[in-house]
């Protein structure tokens, strides 16, 4: 099941990237055009994804699960960022970003649906929101080296932070949006994967073939796919949490490959986006092997908790 889902996701990613390659090589989408499209993705589409994830029926149990899933997601990202900051530091900025941030949306959501069920998507809403929050704060700081990117003022004006506040407010207030607004949010949010993959195709079109053999990327990818899920799984196993579906859902996001958004961030902040494309492609292919293995180990471990 997991193997077939991963193959299907990778095939879709490949086809969408092929569209980007075609547009770039035919001159229909210039480098400046792809940069502008990336800005739309980061500042409009992703915030809509976050708000949409919180539009769900309210209940006390869901509120508790939302809080617990947010705590577990926060722990998983802190473990990742701390671990890879110690390994890569600021001297290897893209490796740090690639290893710390996963593909919780496009690959994580269908995997969670397959393993946990539709309920699992709600469990990882906080994970998707926190992923984007940390990318826009810690991630931008890592790429630029500018501490002002994580100042209170910068965080308050961050589109992801604003969308999280709006989403949580809608969930807690139990306000039902008009159907026309919900549909609009859904249409914009559904653009996330196609736009991100098409953009990655434009980067791939400008990527020299020799870069695909980059040995730097191999170590980074193995850290993302093996070391981080193992470390997060160990921490979860030691926690007194008695909710196997929720723990499995959040863990699954931590086991996914490098998130495609790194390519957009790298281009926006004038970093080596060619290297970021390599890490995304390589980690996505290798995840066919690593993700099912990690899920099997996690479900075995979580069914026999330490406490």
Domains in the chain, please, with CATH? 2-302 (1.20.1530)
What pLDDT, in 10s, does the model give residues 4-19?
776 777 788 788 888 9
Which parts of the chain register pLDDT below 50? Answer: none
| Closest to 189 in 3D by CA, of 284, 281, 280, 106 | 106
pLDDT confidence of residue 97: 81
73, 124 Cβ separation under 8 angstroms: yes
* Residue 236 backbone zone (phi > 0: left; psi -120 to 50: alpha; other: beta): alpha
Only one residue has tokens 């990655």, namely 200
pLDDT confidence of residue 106: 66
**Which helix (H) or strand (E) is 98 found in, with range?**
helix 93-100
pLDDT confidence of residue 188: 92
3-state secondary structure of 242: coil
Gap between the Cα atoms of 115 and 306, Å rounded? 22
pLDDT confidence of residue 187: 92
3-state secondary structure of 258: strand
Gap between the Cα atoms of 103 and 100, Å rounded? 10
With vertex at residue 90, the alpha carbon angle to CA 195 and CA 72, rounded to the nearest 5 degrees, is 65
Contacts of 272 (CB under 8 A, 6+ apart): 94, 266
88, 99 Cβ separation under 8 angstroms: yes
- For residue 255, what are the CA distances in angstroms to 24, 63, 87, 181, 289? 32, 25, 19, 34, 11
What pLDDT, in 10s, does the model give residues 189-248?
888 878 888 887 887 787 776 776 777 888 888 889 999 999 999 998 888 888 888 888
Only one residue has tokens 């914009």, namely 188
Question: What would the two tokens of residue 67 be?
Answer: 């809080």
Gap between the Cα atoms of 144 and 45, Å rounded? 23
3-state secondary structure of 274: helix
pLDDT confidence of residue 2: 59
Question: What would the two tokens of residue 294 be?
Answer: 């990690």
């Amino acid at each position: 099941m997991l193997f077939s889902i991963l193959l299907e996701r990778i095939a879709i990613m490949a086809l969408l990237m092929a569209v980007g390659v075609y547009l770039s090589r035919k001159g229909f989408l210039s480098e400046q055009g792809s940069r502008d499209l990336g800005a739309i993705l980061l500042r409009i589409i992703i915030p809509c994804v976050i708000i949409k994830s919180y539009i769900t029926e309210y209940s006390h149990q869901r509120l508790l699960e939302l809080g617990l899933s947010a705590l577990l997601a926060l722990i998983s990202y802190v473990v990742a960022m701390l671990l890879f900051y110690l390994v890569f530091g600021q001297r290897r900025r893209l490796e740090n970003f690639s290893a710390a941030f996963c593909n919780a949306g496009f690959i994580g959501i269908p995997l969670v649906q397959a393993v946990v069920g539709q309920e699992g998507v709600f469990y990882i809403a906080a994970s998707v929101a926190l992923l984007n929050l940390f990318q826009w704060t810690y991630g931008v700081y890592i790429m630029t080296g500018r501490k002002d990117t994580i100042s209170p003022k910068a965080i308050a004006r961050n589109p992801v932070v604003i969308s999280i506040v709006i989403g949580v407010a809608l969930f807690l207030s139990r306000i039902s949006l008009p159907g026309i607004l919900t549909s609009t949010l859904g249409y914009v949010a559904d653009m996330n994967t196609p736009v991100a993959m098409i953009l990655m195709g434009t980067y791939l079109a400008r990527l020299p073939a020799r870069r695909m053999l980059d040995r730097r990327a191999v170590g980074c990818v193995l850290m993302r796919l093996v070391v981080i899920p193992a470390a997060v799984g160990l921490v979860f196993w030691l926690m007194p949490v008695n909710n196997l579906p929720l723990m499995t859902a959040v863990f699954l996001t931590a086991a996914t490959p490098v998130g495609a958004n790194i390519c957009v961030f790298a281009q926006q902040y004038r970093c080596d986006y060619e290297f970021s494309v390599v890490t995304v492609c390589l980690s996505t292919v290798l995840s066919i092997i690593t993700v099912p293995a990690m899920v099997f180990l996690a479900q075995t471990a979580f069914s026999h908790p330490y406490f």
